[in-house]
Amino acid sequence: MPVRAKFKVDKIERSVGSVPFINAEGRPDWKPGEVRTVIMSPVWGKGDPNHENTKFWQATPVGSLQLGCANLAAVEEFELGREYYIDFTAAER
């Protein structure tokens, strides 16, 4: 059964890390490059018992999520302060 959470983007950090590329032999390799980390936390209820965020906060009051992304275009999909649903579904083994 999938589980849904709701998180807010708190920070987007830039750093140097390892990014994938195809080397001269045509094989995957790694080189230094820009990596961005999207840091998120659970939404909070804002004191309104009927607000959707209150229901999510009651189920997940504490947590954090960090996504280190070498694909900078993917990071452009995230906006500081914006809330996102995150769905967890078991993967095949």
- The band of 28, judged by pLDDT with boundaries at 50, 70 and 90, is very high
Strand partners, 5: 86
pLDDT tens across 30-89, in order? Answer: 999 999 999 999 998 878 888 999 989 888 889 999 999 989 999 999 999 999 999 999
CB of 7 closer than 8 Å to CB of 40: yes
- The string over 2-38, giving b where at least 16 C-beta atoms fall within 10 Å of a residue's C-beta and e elsewhere, is eeebbbebeebeeeeeeeeeeeeeeeeeeeeeebbeb
Please report the pLDDT score of residue 46 as a whole number. Answer: 77
Instruction: Determine the average pLDDT of the residues in 19-31.
Output: 94
